[in-house]
Amino acid sequence: MYFKYLVMTLATISFTGCLVNDTSVTPEFSEKEIENTKKELTQKANCYTVEEENSPVENEDDISHLSSTWCYYTDTSSQETYIFNGDESNLDGGLFAIIRHNENGDHEVIHGSMSNGEMTYHRANPESPNPLPIPINESEIATRYPHSLIEFTREISKNFLELDYKAKNYVEPPPERYNYEDSLYYITAGESEVHLEKEKQPWNGWFWPFGSLTANSNSPLHIFDRFVEKYLGKKGKASEWEDHNRPGNVVGGHCNGWSAASILYPEPEEKVYSPELGQDIDRKTSKALLTVSSFCVHWAFYGKRFYLSSPKDEEEDIAPELFHKVLLYYIKKLGKPVAMDYYPGYWVDNTVISGYKFKIKRLEDHEYKYRVDADLTTHYYTENDKKGVAPIKIRSYSYYLDVDDNGIITKGKWISKNPDFMWVPLAARNCGRQNPHVTKELVEKIVYRTPTIQDPGQDPG
């Protein structure tokens, strides 16, 4: 039986930049509540160092995988399981989820999602794509990955209570009744299209090929280094690191950084005054810094990246049924763009999807019940840094879909050439592959003039 909840878009919580400047109301938690939560998490949460098998970063091989720390905690009183990321000293709403099970064994996932500088909370049913980077069921990773020790500080425990409150109070209530025909994944013949409003579409930006960020004294990373020196009183090392690790004679760039930044962040203003530098920072520089700091993010990944060592048949991945569901879930329900590597081979070139048009035809006497012709509104990077939406290219795909007795998508087969994978940025992070001196906190300070922060450790040693 299908879980009775539908996927829903919720009330919005506004942010300044992507640092928490949350206008939502949360109660004041007592020291006793915080201490009890700290004790519960310390005693009952299981945390793991999870290796990520896929990455949207171009030019990466299939050996040097990323890893991150994820925790599972089950509240025995409510039988709700919490999943959250434990890499940082604070918990992030975009990396926090509550799993609820019903008597039939089905589940719903309440999770946070960041887009255009706004956090929203959503319900995903069992047919939805997994909105997390890791499995919903702890048993799937418990024997695969090593345990990780996390110190559940007072701050983390307080964050946990706040996010628990927001996830449960800012998500729309479930519908009273559920009909299969109302499911997001119920297929009927005909045409349908969804396009995100302009402010949610990716903004103009450049992929900043290696070497371009430090080309002269007014290049983005040299400006950033001068800001660091004034703001933190220590030498900025971003340009030095970039020249050493990403020289101009190496082919590559930051297309994944632009994809993530243009989804997570609102478009920067034309100019923002930096009192530290005593000058304006132009939009081009702001976008470049956001692109660099977003080079490495947490992502929900759909499909399997094709590497040089991958079997030939993996070129047909992503599966078309998952491809179709990802478009429905994120663009139609969450109102959030989706990034995609449109090239099915080894090379990666990321683009961003902000809309689709489906033509669905019912088939008779065929292995699959439906044929779908999909025209995707995709956006590509450009050196033009003018204000507004990134240039558009329509990319077309065709595939078959099959459904179960209730009309819900079950499987599919590609007719046309397929993309390689899809991915959705969830939150910025420091993963060790991006320029370690360009932290998201410092970039947000420059671009959005976020509140003063403590020294984030500019020199990683």
Mean pLDDT of 395-417: 97
User: For the chain, what is the mean pLDDT?
Assistant: 87
Tell me if 26 sits within 8 A of 13, measured CB to CB: no
pLDDT tens-digit series, residues 445-461: 999 986 533 333 333 33
- CA distances in angstroms from 305 to 181, 309, 311, 322, 351, listed in the order given: 34, 11, 11, 14, 15
| Separation of alpha carbons 437 and 238, rounded Å | 5
Residue that wins the pLDDT comparison between 314 and 49: 49
Per-residue pLDDT, averaged over 375-392, amounts to: 93
pLDDT of 173 > 90? The answer is no
The token duo for 415 is: 């007719």
Q: pLDDT band for position 61 (50/70/90)?
A: low
User: What torsion do the CA atoms of 134, 136, 141, 145 make, to the nearest 10 degrees?
Assistant: 40
What pLDDT is recorded for position 249? 72
pLDDT value of residue 437: 94
pLDDT for residue 220: 97
Q: Where are the alpha helices (DSSP H) in 46-111?
A: none
How many CB atoms sit inside 10 A of residue 139's CB? 9
DSSP string, 187-241: --SEEEEEE--GGGSPBP-----TTGGGSSTTSHHHHHHHHHHHHHSS---HHHH
CA 357 from centre of chain: 23
Question: Which range has the top average pLDDT, 75-79, 102-106, 375-379?
Answer: 375-379
Q: Is the Cβ–Cβ distance between 189 and 368 less than 8 Å?
A: no
Label the pairing between strands 271-274 and 421-428: unpaired
